[in-house]
Structure 1
Amino acid sequence: MLKKVEKKYSAKKTPKAELKKWYELMTLGRLLDERAPNYLKQAVGWSYHAPYAGHDGIQLAIGQTFVRGEDHLFPYYRDMLTAVSAGVNAEEIILNGISKATDLASGGRHMSNHFAKPEWNIHNVSSCTGNHTLHAVGVARAMKRYKHKGVAISSQGESSVSEGYVYEAINGASVEKLPVVFVFQDNGYGISVPKRDQTANERVADNFTGFLNLTIIHCDGKDVFDSMSAMDEARKIAIEKSEPVIVHADCVRIGNHSNSDKHEWYRDDAEIAAAKAQDPYPRFRKELLDAKVFTEAELAAVDEAMKKEVLDAHTKAMKAPNPDPASIYDFLYAEAHVSTKYPQGTHNETSEPVKFIDSINGTLKAEFRHNPNTFIWGQDMANKEKGGIFNVSKGMQQEFGIDRVFNGPIAEDFILGTANGFSRFRDDIRVCVEGAEFADYFWPAMEQYIEMSHDYWRSNGAFSPNVVIRLASGGYIGGGLYHSQNLEGSLAAIPGIRIVVPAFADDAAGLLRTAFRSKGPTLFLEPKALYNSKSAMTPVPEDFEVPFGVARTRKEGKDLTVLTYGNTVHMCLEAANRLEAEGFNVEVIDLRSIVPLDVDSIVKSVKKTGRCLIVHEDKVFGGFGGELVGVVNEKAFEYLDAPVKRIGSTNTPVGFNRILEKAILPNTDRIYTGMLDLLKY
């Protein structure tokens, strides 16, 4: 719904004190904006700067509309005045620009011009343009769930709206009726790409006119009073109706896209001159003088005061410490839960064996009872008796209600991105998502997965997404393409997210519980062929826990070490037992945890046996086994009596016909042959 907003602010209607504050902020922001390139010229820093000049009206309005303690603000890289208007001071802006250790946004870890103040819920966003719309929707969902009065504000350029996840965010917010304000700052360009190459509509906000439960407001982003009126109305609608609002602000880009751009290459002199002629800052100053609210002397005094403030901020910031190179591993992984009762993740339980699928279901329910601030969503998650594509979450919505257990759209980026945002609302929140119905369909969420992987590190420890990502992975079900894939070989190379792959019911329960009780993201891979497998059934102690990074020796041996995880653990045990009858003693180590990896247990076993075979379901080429080979060669090469060998899938997709699947995936016979070859080497 398009809404026309009456301009309720003007130089004559607005109190003088308020106008003075606005002028101070605009002057301070412009001084910082114009000073930023000098730091690069002096080799001090600020190697990325996107000037905001031409966006002054809307950015002042965003910051002034933001209510500290109630709202969450997600500014983008051009939002310097937005940050200043919201309360980030000049010293904090400069510390960010020159990447000092005391920079509030990231301690110098993230690109300059990415402003944040975590204690005020001004969030650190990434350089991946527009992706924070999903985080804003997620935190708005949490506001609604917890009946919190406030809004999430997402600010971005108009070209970022071309990204698919922006459409997912706005669609999801309208479906769920969430209190989020999306601000599009439209300056007509995506770096050098003109708007006509982005959208057929003159205004990109008009792409969303068919969405229900959504209000669209157009304003002049160069006009302070029009922008203030629009943002006031947007926040009011978002709170009162609990619905999303788009504020489309027409701006102008006066300078280059950034200090690495030359706009003269794609804009002619007349266009650049026209842009400068529309500069909002002198326009606002003139309005104040023409209305006789201020004298020239009064405004000149403000100018001098702001210059002094910037100079003082510069002096302090230049004395601030640089980041310590030794700190690069700090905040890579958030704090993991440590079990005191089960430090090695083993037990002596003798109760009735439980199915793999039932152990996960039971642990999910137990953790939801343990922590009332636990939530789960995904595709096919909760519809009457349905509980996920494999019914792993069966009965959860019936017990915990639709507020905690609910469906997401078929939009994997949205599922994961809103989990990131939702967990920002409170530190005790834990979100579990079925990231996709099958692991193979997870790839659309990769942008959000990568985002999540470095949130904790990038924010210098200020925020960790406390999210468990469950994925049904692997083959042996006759699923073929998109239903039989393994991801760990690709994903293990991305630091910041733990990856676990249980092979037995007890480990599934123990690792899942540890993931829920830890901070930070965990990828929980569930070999779906084991859901109802008898071989994966075990007794499961109540409140059982398995630590991250602790392998489990499934069979002791002295002649050969086998490193494995997931589905192939059972095949390795079958092959090892066959060889036992032939006089060979094979040690089978179930890694359980891929990231972190139990290097000590691997090295200890290889030192004992002198031989090592690595077995996993994923392809040998590019699979995680290559990393394991590297660990063994680096840490235990002198103890080897034979080359390290690998067994896994062929370097092909997985075929649907069972004959093809059998030819591609590893099996007990191939593993037996591989073991025997190494034993006789």
Structure 2
Amino acid sequence: MKSDVPVRYSIKKTDKETLLKWYHLITLGRTLDDRAPNYLKQAVGWSYHAPAAGHDGIQLAIGQVFRRNKDHLFPYYRDLQTCVSAGMTAEEIILNGISKDADVAGGGRHMSNHFAKPAWNIHNVSSCTGNHTLHAAGVGRALKTYGENDAVVISSQGESSVSEGYVYEAINGASREQLPVVFVFQDNGYGISVPKQDQTANRKVARNFESLKNLRVIYCNGKDVFDSINAMTEAVTWAMENQKPVIVQANCVRIHSHSNSDRHELYRDDNELSYVKEYDPVEKYKRLLLRYQRATESELTEIDERVKEEVKEAHRKAMAAPAPSPDSIFDYVLPPAYVSNKYPDGVHHQEGDKVKFIQALNEALKAEFRHNPDTYLWGQDVANKDKGGIFNVSKGMQQEFGKTRVFNGPIAEDYILGTANGMSRYNRNMRIVVEGAEFADYFWPAMEQFVETTHEYWRTKGQYSPNITVRLASGGYIGGGLYHSQNIEGALMTFPGVRIVYPSFADDGAGLIRTAMRSEGMTVFMEPKALYNAPKAATVVPDDFEVPFGKARIRRSGTDLTIITYGNTTHMCLEVAEQLQQEGKASVEVIDLRSLVPLDKEAIRTSLSKTSRALVVHEDKVFGGFGGEVAAMIGDEMFELLDAPVRRVGSTFTPVGFNRILEAAILPGNDRIYQAAVQLIHY
């Protein structure tokens, strides 16, 4: 599939002004690259540095074809020369390297050598190598959705990171959706110390993708400035004109070690080390300029001296710049949430006909899609004729809002969430809802992207907010067994940067999905699927109902015992509380948390000030479950209110069995809750 790339630039045809500009950029990039290790030696910073030397040709080319505030660029950790070529200054590069507060990528919050300038659409990319290919595909989808046909997305990475499964998902998805994304593989032959033959069967990893439909593959010499710029120019032009993806595989050399923590002399012999130095792209470009008399020695020397002064001045300013303040660590963990003025406590007193949980969710989703035209929904099996997801929560949405706004995703959970991360970068007004997996238990393949998305807002110092609602049908009591009955909120809540809600009733479901979709940031919306059609979860639902984050709801008042719960077990706790009341044994207060992160501590404190006894009940396992955190918080912050130990009820520390007898033995039920409540009352 190798194409003959039109020769647009050559040493003879390119004008002198452009040639000298390129020499300035390539020299500036190399000077900064060579200088970086000195900062570590002087204990100033730049403790991670992946040298760009040997990749200079292709990186100069990437930066030159990129148009700031028009295209989108996802550089990887070795792309110093790319970012210099794209217009970032020496000072900005050094500020990132030594992690100063003025670092435009994120104020020193991210590892050095991860260059970015979000204000220009040079995206902040994480250390999880290659995962930004998914984000690039998501931005490409946004460009296509909004008809921006004169822009492209460029995603850059090393050839070994292509071994990651999500890279295949991204390129396959971009091919299927026909997205204008240029994927650049900078092939230097090594993944740290692992040679290429241990990574892939094909000598050129791009050949693994040649059979994909709608995809063009271009090979070039990444050590050569002209071949690289011709290839990148052709790739960008073809991607825009055809609205399809392109792979550019650039053959490079790695002149130095993988990074400053690597010693390449331990796995590369002297012949290889001499060979790679002979193919230095900067020296080759300089020789061409002189050989073809496109520049004189004095002209190049003048540029060299100017670069030295430029770097010296940038160093002086960067060293004088302030470091991040330790007080800033809590800034930008989460963006501001939507504030409800009409329902500040998330409580209503409206009367009327009750609707089931599933209907409340469906109608709230549709209302929010009408409210904000920049709202999108995708996931597995969510948009097939009259069916809307395996549980029909999104039924009728594609018919009303069209295939552009509501569509099916592949069975690739990482791709579903990763492209949501990417697409939401296009427009801050955009709101994306994804069915992260058909069952919450299947969400694990998306965990890499979940973790990535939780720290985007913090890592970029508030420059990017992933405005995503992740819907997950959660819990058991349906006879589903493994992968169909687990609870995963205990694992998800350990990551800062995400809100987690878990309603028990139809009105709270509608109110919380509305708040999630109107807020900035990511929210995981856990849906107790056993309650979708349960009459006990049906309520009156006001059309405009909103439930704030971090506001629990007192479902039943009491004076002798506080039960703190959420999800499926809320209804069991209410039944147990009623039974204890009828038996004359206790007056039980039931707190439906609704929102796990953030947690309504004040509601718990107020209740315990009356009852002095706390029972935490949830469906998840007792060991490692969310209740452990609630119990620890009570013991730490409210110990003086207690007259008894905090008790917990939940699942056994086993998987959830498929047979109904096994499921009943594992999941908590009324009897287990009742026994724990009685013991606590009589303590």
Is TM more than 0.5 here? yes
Secondary structure, counterpart of 1:435 in structure 2 = strand
Matches within 5 A, 1:407-418: 407-418=408-419
Which residue is 1:290 aligned to?
291
Which residue is 1:98 aligned to?
98
Which residue is 1:610 aligned to?
612
Distance in 1, Cα, partners of 2:511 & 2:663: 31
Equivalent residues of 2:137, 2:179 under 8 A apart: yes
Distance in 2, Cα, partners of 1:362 & 1:505: 11
Equivalent residues of 1:2, 1:209 under 8 A apart: no
Equivalent residues of 1:117, 1:123 under 8 A apart: yes
Which residue is 1:169 aligned to?
170
Secondary structure, counterpart of 1:601 in structure 2 = helix
Cα RMSD of the aligned pairs, angstroms, is 0.6
* Paired amino acid for 1:594: L
Which residue is 2:7 aligned to?
7
* Paired amino acid for 1:533: A
Matches within 5 A, 1:224-235: 224-235=225-236
Matches within 5 A, 1:229-628: 229-583=230-584, 584-628=586-630
Q: Give, in angstroms, the shift of residue 582 of structure 1.
A: 1.9
Equivalent residues of 1:409, 1:415 under 8 A apart: yes
* Paired amino acid for 1:19: L
Distance in 2, Cα, partners of 1:24 & 1:398: 56
Distance in 2, Cα, partners of 1:129 & 1:60: 21
Which residue is 1:659 aligned to?
661
Q: Give, in angstroms, the shift of residue 123 of structure 1.
A: 0.2
Secondary structure, counterpart of 1:73 in structure 2 = strand
Cα-to-partner distance string for 1:282-311 (whole Å, 9 max, x where unaligned): 100010011101100000000000110000
Cα-to-partner distance string for 1:212-255 (whole Å, 9 max, x where unaligned): 00000000000000000000000011100000000000000000
Which residue is 1:209 aligned to?
210
Distance in 1, Cα, partners of 2:118 & 2:91: 16
Equivalent residues of 1:397, 1:404 under 8 A apart: yes
Distance in 2, Cα, partners of 1:8 & 1:404: 40
Distance in 2, Cα, partners of 1:659 & 1:286: 79
Q: Give, in angstroms, the shift of residue 69 of structure 1.
A: 2.3
Q: Give, in angstroms, the shift of residue 10 of structure 1.
A: 1.1
Distance in 2, Cα, partners of 1:549 & 1:401: 34
Q: Give, in angstroms, the shift of residue 636 of structure 1.
A: 1.2
Q: Give, in angstroms, the shift of residue 607 of structure 1.
A: 2.1
Equivalent residues of 2:69, 2:119 under 8 A apart: no
Q: Which runs of 5+ in 2 are unaligned?
A: none
Corresponding residue to 2:633 among 625, 631, 637:
631
Distance in 1, Cα, partners of 2:656 & 2:370: 39
Cα-to-partner distance string for 1:649-672 (whole Å, 9 max, x where unaligned): 000000001111001000111111
Secondary structure, counterpart of 2:96 in structure 1 = helix
Percent identity between the aligned chains? 68
* Paired amino acid for 1:675: A
* Paired amino acid for 1:418: T
Secondary structure, counterpart of 1:573 in structure 2 = helix
Cα-to-partner distance string for 1:401-437 (whole Å, 9 max, x where unaligned): 0000000000000000000000000010000000000
Which residue is 2:28 aligned to?
28
Distance in 2, Cα, partners of 1:563 & 1:4: 68
* Paired amino acid for 1:126: S
Which residue is 1:64 aligned to?
64
Equivalent residues of 2:378, 2:407 under 8 A apart: yes
Equivalent residues of 1:423, 1:467 under 8 A apart: yes
Q: Give, in angstroms, the shift of residue 543 of structure 1.
A: 1.1
Which residue is 1:668 aligned to?
670
Distance in 1, Cα, partners of 2:594 & 2:82: 46
Distance in 2, Cα, partners of 1:673 & 1:3: 74
Equivalent residues of 1:75, 1:82 under 8 A apart: yes
Which residue is 1:113 aligned to?
113
Which residue is 1:75 aligned to?
75
Q: Give, in angstroms, the shift of residue 6 of structure 1.
A: 3.4
Cα-to-partner distance string for 1:86-132 (whole Å, 9 max, x where unaligned): 11110000000000001000100000000011110000000000000
Range with bigger deviation, 6-15 or 590-599: 6-15
Distance in 1, Cα, partners of 2:26 & 2:297: 16
Distance in 1, Cα, partners of 2:417 & 2:199: 26
* Paired amino acid for 2:224: D
* Paired amino acid for 1:124: N
Q: Give, in angstroms, the shift of residue 274 of structure 1.
A: 0.7
* Paired amino acid for 2:666: I
Distance in 2, Cα, partners of 1:368 & 1:638: 47
Q: Give, in angstroms, the shift of residue 604 of structure 1.
A: 1.7
Equivalent residues of 1:500, 1:592 under 8 A apart: yes
* Paired amino acid for 1:87: G
Secondary structure, counterpart of 2:407 in structure 1 = strand
Distance in 1, Cα, partners of 2:461 & 2:159: 29
Q: Give, in angstroms, the shift of residue 469 of structure 1.
A: 0.2
* Paired amino acid for 1:103: D
Cα-to-partner distance string for 1:576-629 (whole Å, 9 max, x where unaligned): 000001221001000000000011111221122111000000000110111011
Distance in 1, Cα, partners of 2:503 & 2:16: 65
Q: Give, in angstroms, the shift of residue 11 of structure 1.
A: 1.2
Q: Give, in angstroms, the shift of residue 383 of structure 1.
A: 1.3
Q: Give, in angstroms, the shift of residue 4 of structure 1.
A: 2.7
Distance in 2, Cα, partners of 1:168 & 1:85: 29
Distance in 2, Cα, partners of 1:427 & 1:42: 41
Secondary structure, counterpart of 2:317 in structure 1 = helix
* Paired amino acid for 2:662: L
Distance in 1, Cα, partners of 2:51 & 2:69: 28
Range with bigger deviation, 541-550 or 636-645: 636-645
Cα-to-partner distance string for 1:630-661 (whole Å, 9 max, x where unaligned): 11101111221111110000000000011110
Equivalent residues of 2:220, 2:231 under 8 A apart: yes
Q: Give, in angstroms, the shift of residue 8 of structure 1.
A: 2.6
Which residue is 2:19 aligned to?
19
Secondary structure, counterpart of 2:437 in structure 1 = coil
Distance in 1, Cα, partners of 2:30 & 2:265: 22
Equivalent residues of 2:217, 2:248 under 8 A apart: yes
Equivalent residues of 2:6, 2:234 under 8 A apart: no
Distance in 2, Cα, partners of 1:68 & 1:112: 22
* Paired amino acid for 2:517: F
TM-score (norm 1): 1.00
Equivalent residues of 1:361, 1:392 under 8 A apart: yes
Secondary structure, counterpart of 1:375 in structure 2 = strand
Distance in 2, Cα, partners of 1:631 & 1:609: 17
Distance in 2, Cα, partners of 1:274 & 1:492: 51
Distance in 2, Cα, partners of 1:117 & 1:303: 26
* Paired amino acid for 2:259: S
* Paired amino acid for 1:607: S
